[in-house]
Amino acid sequence: MLESWLASRIAAGEVVERPASVVKELVENSLDARAGSVEVEIERGGFDLIRVRDDGEGMDREDALLALRRFATSKVSSPEDLNRIITLGFRGEALPSIAAVSHLELVTSTGNGEGTRVRAEGGEIVSSEPVGAPKGTTVTVKRLFYNTPARRKFLRSAAREAALCLEVVERFAAAWPEVRFRVIRDGREVLTLPPAPPRERAARVLGVKPDQLAEVDLEDGRVRIAGFVGVPEAALASRRGQHFSVNRRPVRSSLLSRAVEEGTRTLIFTGQYPVCVLSLHLPPEFVDPNVHPRKLEVRFADEQALFGKVMQAVSDALRSRTLIRTTRPDLTRSPSTPLPVAGQLQVMESPAEVVPPSEILTAKLPPLRVLGQVANTYIVAASPDGLVLVDQHAAHERVLFERLSKLRGREEYVQILLVPIPLDLPPAEAEIAERMKDVLHDAGFILSGFGEGTYLLRSVPSIAARAPLVSLVRACLAELASAGSMQSPTELAMRLAGIAACHSAVRAGAPLTMKEMVALLQELGTCEDPYTCFHGRPTLVSADVNTLENWFLRA
CA distance 545 to 387: 8
User: pLDDT (tens digit, 9 = 90+) per residue, 113-135?
Assistant: 789 999 999 999 999 999 999 99
pLDDT bracket for residue 554 (50, 70, 90): confident
Q: CA-to-CA distance for 244 and 279, rounded, in angstroms?
A: 6
Distance in Å from the first CA to the final CA of the chain: 78
pLDDT of residue 55: 96
* Per-residue confidence (pLDDT) for residue 535, from 0 to 100: 84
* Whole-number pLDDT of residue 14: 52
CA dihedral over 419, 425, 429, 435, signed as positive or negative: positive
* Helix intervals (H) in 483-536: 489-504, 514-524
Contacts of 339 (CB under 8 A, 6+ apart): 333, 551
- pLDDT-wise least confident of 167-171, 237-241, 450-454: 450-454
The pLDDT of residue 112 is: 83
32 vs 233, which has greater pLDDT? 32
What pTM does this model have?
A: 0.73
| pLDDT (0 to 100) of residue 342 | 39
Asked if residue 532 lies in contact with residue 382, where contact means CB atoms within 8 angstroms, the answer is: no
pLDDT surpassing 70 at residue 468: yes
Phi, psi of 243 (to 5 degrees): -120, 120
Evaluate whether 104 touches 122 at the Cβ level (below 8 Å): no
CB atoms within 10 A of CB 161: 20
Q: 446: which strand partners? A: 459
Q: What pLDDT was estimated at residue 150?
A: 81
Over range 454-460, report the average pLDDT: 93
Which of 102-111, 177-186, 446-455, 503-512 is predicted least confidently?
446-455
pLDDT tens digit string along 310-365? 999 999 999 888 888 876 544 333 333 333 333 455 657 544 454 454 578 888 88
Pair 313, 254: CB distance under 8 Å: no
Q: What is the DSSP letter of 356?
A: P
Residue 474: strand, helix, or coil: helix
pLDDT at site 325: 80
Please spell the DSSP secondary structure of 420-470, one letter per residue.
EEEEE--HHHHHHHHHTHHHHHHTT-EEEE-STTEEEEEEEEGGGTTS-HH
Does residue 210 have a pLDDT over 90?
A: yes
| Confidence tier at 15 by pLDDT (50, 70, 90) | low
Measured distance CA(240)–CA(234) in Å, rounded: 12
All domains of the chain, ordered by start, with CATH?
A: 4-193 (3.30.565.10), 198-319 (3.30.230.10), 325-555 (3.30.1370.100)
Q: Where are the alpha helices (DSSP H) in 198-333?
A: 198-206, 254-263, 303-319
Q: What is the pLDDT averaged over residues 199-223?
A: 93
Sheet of 414-424, strand order = 414-424, 454-461, 446-449
- Mean pLDDT for 288-303 is 66
Residue 72 buriedness (CB in 10 A; 0-12 / 13-18 / 19+) = middle
Contact 477, 433 (CB under 8 A): yes
- DSSP three-state, residue 19: helix
Q: Binning pLDDT at 50, 70 and 90, where does residue 244 land? A: very high
